[in-house]
Structure 1
Amino acid sequence: MNSWDESFSDTKINFDSPIPYYIQIKEKIKEQIDSGSLKYGDQLPGEPVLCNLFAVSRTVIRQALAELEHEGLVARKKGKGTFVSEPESFEKLSGNLSGFYQHMKKRGHLAYSQILKQEIVHAEKDIASNLNIKPGSLVLQLDRLRYIDNEPIVLTSTYIPSHFVPGLENMELSRESLYGVLEREYGIVISRAYRTIGAVVANEYHAGLFKIKKGDPFIVISQIEYSSDGTLFAYYHGLYRGDRNVFEVEMVRQ
């Protein structure tokens, strides 16, 4: 177990700050997780120890732990304590568009891809329909198995009309952001997307690929992407492990 006094020695909360104490404590613990000082499976100190470390009441500590649990960063096990959870991919269903690598880097995770297919193909009918092109048109197909901290999390397929991205089929993309490459090499910025969400269960192929059981749940996201000049640019299809991905959407009453 870690030396908690050392881990948190420079992270005392500011009692004069307008930020609630429990939020400050949540952020301090989150920093330790993001930095790797606290790793998956590590047990957090008990509530009395945390109360003493941060000089706050048990109610405040419980609020902080509840926030961390809600974000999927820790799990509280009855009779055992609070433990750092396995990493999840956490994404908003609406809001800013960001690439997989940027998104995971911000959360302090190691992210990379296994390229399963990266070549020019003839668009099948459903792909052509989503891209508003003729069936048989040439498109770049990019299939990637995305990893977070060495665990397969998402299987994605991206289709782009080949005339938009000449030579992209030969570029190294296993540790590169596709959005970043598009901006740097082609001056193309993806600025808008239309997204749908559904669910399926894993077949034998997907179970083997993800090392999960046949019948385990997947979240399915399909996305049509537009460049900054309004051009329908790409079609994206992703299979997200149901046990390792969390999606958030904000609802506003009109």
Structure 2
Amino acid sequence: MTRQRLDRESFVPMYYQLQQALIQDMDAGMHRPGDRLPSESELCDSYGVSRTVVRQALRELEISGRIVRRKGQGSFVALPKTSELLVQSLTGLHEDVTSRGGTMRSDVRRLERVPATPEVAAELGIAPGDPVIVLDRLRFVNEVPWVTVVTYLPYALCPRLLEEDLTQQSLYALLEDGYGVEISWGRRRVEAVPAPAAVARALEIRRGSPILLLSSTSYAPDGRPVEYFVASHRGDLSRFEVRLERRKGAPYNPLLTLQSADT
């Protein structure tokens, strides 16, 4: 279908006009998440512009995260990213997704009692070898594999957790409502890393694709560690929003502490 040609008399660059026209089409539902956009030549004919203009517009859309370009296949409307709010609220991914009207389920790949490694023991404030519960989940948002999460909890805190079905429910809600474990605050570290082979297979991405690796320790109101997890998020689907505050006269600190959780 031939579209209205762009305004060549405008001071607004042609590529930006095309970029905005495509965004309007996506927002209006003409191109839905996962849909393939018209080819470069089709866009040239539809909007009466050069291939250089089309390529620049597509490049800007890719940079902004609105489309995904696949070599030999074309350009596709990107899936909407799930935002997790860091610092402002202490919620889990299950609560974040369902509050936005999405669906969340987990493939529980491991749930058992194991001795704590030195790393896990240090995070949970227990002795190496003390019993902990390890919970390994592949989590799906709207049936798309989104994140792998390996969670460790002191066994004495909630031994009956080994009998729970955690495919659909929030771990945090279960801990609070079922076991009286209140999580007050958390410390999180975030870094961008290439996806290892096992994580890439689980998330259905290429090995070495960028992922966001999160490690977090959560604490009870009395300061006692109650949970430690390591999560690998797909970099193309996840976005984290952070509230920053400037304190006059505060010394520069290159380490940003993020208080939140992801369970």
- Which TM-score applies when normalising by structure 1? 0.68
Return the offset for 1:217: 1.0
Return the offset for 1:76: 11
Q: Is the 8 A contact 1:188 1:228 kept in 2?
A: no
In structure 2, do the counterparts of structure 1 residues 210 and 130 end up closer, same or farther at CA, with 3 Å as the change threshold?
Answer: same
Alignment correspondent of 2:58: none
Alignment correspondent of 2:186: 193
Tell me which of 205, 208, 214 is aligned to 1:221: 214
Q: Is the 8 A contact 2:68 2:78 kept in 1?
A: no
The alignment status of 1:237 with 2:230, answered yes or no, reads yes
In 2, Cα distance between the equivalents of 1:138 and 1:212? 34
In 2, Cα distance between the equivalents of 1:202 and 1:211? 11
SS in 1 for 2:185: strand
Alignment correspondent of 1:144: 137
Task: Among all aligned residue pairs of Structure 1 and Structure 2, give the percentage whose two residues are the same amino acid.
Answer: 34
Alignment correspondent of 1:124: 117
In the TM superposition, what are the counterparts of 1:41-190 in structure 2 within 5 Å? 41=34, 85-190=78-183
In structure 2, do the counterparts of structure 1 residues 244 and 183 end up closer, same or farther at CA, with 3 Å as the change threshold?
Answer: same
In structure 2, do the counterparts of structure 1 residues 131 and 71 end up closer, same or farther at CA, with 3 Å as the change threshold?
Answer: farther
Q: Tell me, which stretches of 5 or more residues in structure 1 are unaligned?
A: 1-28, 44-68, 78-82
Q: Is the 8 A contact 2:106 2:138 kept in 1?
A: yes
In 2, Cα distance between the equivalents of 1:100 and 1:173? 13
Q: Is the 8 A contact 1:202 1:214 kept in 2?
A: yes
Return the offset for 1:140: 0.5
In structure 2, do the counterparts of structure 1 residues 42 and 210 end up closer, same or farther at CA, with 3 Å as the change threshold?
Answer: closer
Return the offset for 1:84: 6.3
In 2, Cα distance between the equivalents of 1:76 and 1:151? 16
Q: Tell me, which stretches of 5 or more residues in structure 2 are unaligned?
A: 1-25, 37-61, 70-75, 248-263
In 1, Cα distance between the equivalents of 2:170 and 2:64? 25
SS in 1 for 2:96: helix
In 2, Cα distance between the equivalents of 1:84 and 1:183? 39
In 2, Cα distance between the equivalents of 1:92 and 1:203? 26
Q: Is the 8 A contact 2:88 2:243 kept in 1?
A: no
Residue 241 of structure 1 aligns to which amino acid in structure 2?
A: R
SS in 2 for 1:167: helix
In 1, Cα distance between the equivalents of 2:134 and 2:96? 23
1:124-159 deviation line (CA, Å, top 9, x unaligned): 111111111111110000111111111111111111
In 2, Cα distance between the equivalents of 1:39 and 1:106? 22
Deviates more, 1:228-237 or 1:107-116: 228-237
Residue 234 of structure 2 aligns to which amino acid in structure 1?
A: R
In 2, Cα distance between the equivalents of 1:153 and 1:207? 11
Considering only aligned residues, what root-mean-square deviation do their CA atoms show, in Å?
3.0
Alignment correspondent of 1:5: none
Return the offset for 1:75: 5.3
- Which TM-score applies when normalising by structure 2? 0.66
Return the offset for 1:70: 11
Return the offset for 1:40: 2.3
In structure 2, do the counterparts of structure 1 residues 93 and 107 end up closer, same or farther at CA, with 3 Å as the change threshold?
Answer: same
In 2, Cα distance between the equivalents of 1:76 and 1:143? 29
- Which protein, 1 or 2, shows the higher relative CO under an 8 Å CA cutoff with sep ≥ 6? 2
